[in-house]
Structures are given as C-alpha cells and as structure tokens.
Amino acid sequence: MPYCLVDDLRRVLPEKVQIGSQNIGQPVPGRPGNQGSTRSNISPQEAEFYINYASSYLDGRLRPFYACPLRRIKSYETEVLSNITHGSGVHVQVHDSGPFIRGQLVRLQDTNGMETCKVSSTSMDDSNLTQVVLERVINNYLTADNTRISVLEYPDPIPLVTAQMACSFILDRLFVSEQSPDVSQYSKNQRNLARAQIENILSGEVLLFGQEFTGKRFVRMSLLDTFKSPALEQLQKGIEKE
C-alpha cells in the first residue's frame, strides 16, 4: 500500500528530476546548451512503483511492532458551519482552515453517509481563515445533520520517510546511467534521513498515532514501557548509515 503521493515525491526530488513532464523544453536566449529542457526523467507510473517499493521496505521494518499495512487515520476533525451542495470547487465553511492544505484527502460525513474529497485550496487571507475549497463533492450535506469534515492521512512521519526512500531509489537509477559511481550523495542522504526516522520509531521515540500494536496479545502496548525486541538490543542508532 503506497504511503505517499507522487506529489510528495516531487517535493523531495531535486529540481532537475521531473516526473511526468513531457515538455521538450522552451528556448532560452544564450548558448545552445542552456536551453532549460524540462523533459521528464521518469513517468508517474514508474514513480508509483518506486513508492510501492519504499512502502514495502517500511512495512518490513515496522511489522514486528505495528500491524501492517498501516491505515489512514483522522488526524483532525471539525464541524462544518454551512450547508454543502454537490458540484466542483465547493466552498466549505469551518471554524479554522489552518489544518487543511492543498491536495489533502478529507472525508465529509453526516448522519446519512460519507465520501472522500480532495482539498483544492484554502483561504490564505489572515482576516478569513474559515474557508476550505474541495475539488468535487458528489452528495449534499446539511448542517442540521451534524456534518463534519476530517483530514485523512497516514501518521507522521510515514509519508515523508516513504518519499525519501522512493527518492533515493529513483536517483540511484538515474545517477548510475550517467556517472561512474553507483549511487549519488543526495540519495545516500535521503536514505540516511529516512532510516534515522525508522530507528526512532523502532526505539519508541516516535509513536505512530492510531496504529494497532503487535507483540503483546492481551495488553495495550501504550501501558507498557518502550517497546523492545531482541534485534533492538544489538541495534545502535545510525549503524545503517552509508
């Protein structure tokens, strides 16, 4: 199960590595070699495969402590203050639009049903931080039916770790085709950052909120001390750094 989006991967990749852009470049005044081509290095379908590889690596590391695959959780929920009519570019009135960002997955829910939508934009005006715009809404929702909007996402820092690992896989493939070393320094750094976060999760410094623990069948892990594993007794932080 992919734990991040292609857009998340785009934000981690270097500027010159493009996903899905088929533009052959726009002419730029100057030398012929400085034409600024933005031709894609990798397709969106290939990027999704690398995200799946990174997600499977993460599942393998977390499975001794958490039920995998991980599940999306409601990281934030608030009341909707105005009626919602189906359509595109639907405006939703809330108490505070701060927790919502562009491209986020949200759930609209009332006493009659629910659906998932994508955030198109939020109000950036400091004088009006109460509006969220959704790309498309299928059903109608009334405030009288106790309508609520929730943010659906994987717990921190799972999306970032997955994007960093997928980024390192892609860069190694592109780098080895053009350079003599088999890995790039940037991909090494991204893997080290991702592994440091995974080690923090395994050592108990970072808790994956809303996930189901494994190990102690009839005891809640949150009632115990920091989770332990025989493997962790020999693990030193940073030992996997390249």
pLDDT in tens, 193-241: 999 999 999 888 888 988 988 866 556 666 666 555 555 555 555 556 6
> Is 50 exceeded by the pLDDT of residue 136?
yes
Locate the domains of the chain by residue range.
Answer: 6-20+39-70+156-233, 73-153
Residue 175, both tokens: 């780098």
| Mean of all residue pLDDT scores within the chain | 82
pLDDT in tens, 66-76: 999 999 999 99
Average pLDDT over residues 165-180: 81
226: burial class by Cβ within 10 Å (0-12, 13-18, 19+)? exposed
> Is 90 exceeded by the pLDDT of residue 164?
yes
Average pLDDT over residues 52-63: 94
Instruction: Report percent pLDDT > 70 for the chain.
Output: 76
pLDDT of residue 219: 62
Average pLDDT over residues 146-157: 94
Tell me, rounded to whole angstroms, the distance of Cα 140 from its chain centroid. 29
Calpha distance 63→203 (Å, rounded): 14
Dihedral, 231, 164, 211, 79 alpha carbons, nearest 10? 160
Of 29 and 148, more confident: 148
* Number of Cα atoms under 13 Å in the Cβ half of residue 186: 16
> Is 80 exceeded by the pLDDT of residue 174?
yes
pLDDT in tens, 77-135: 999 999 999 999 999 999 988 899 888 999 999 998 899 999 998 876 666 788 999 99
pTM: 0.78
**Assigned CATH class of 73-153:** mainly beta
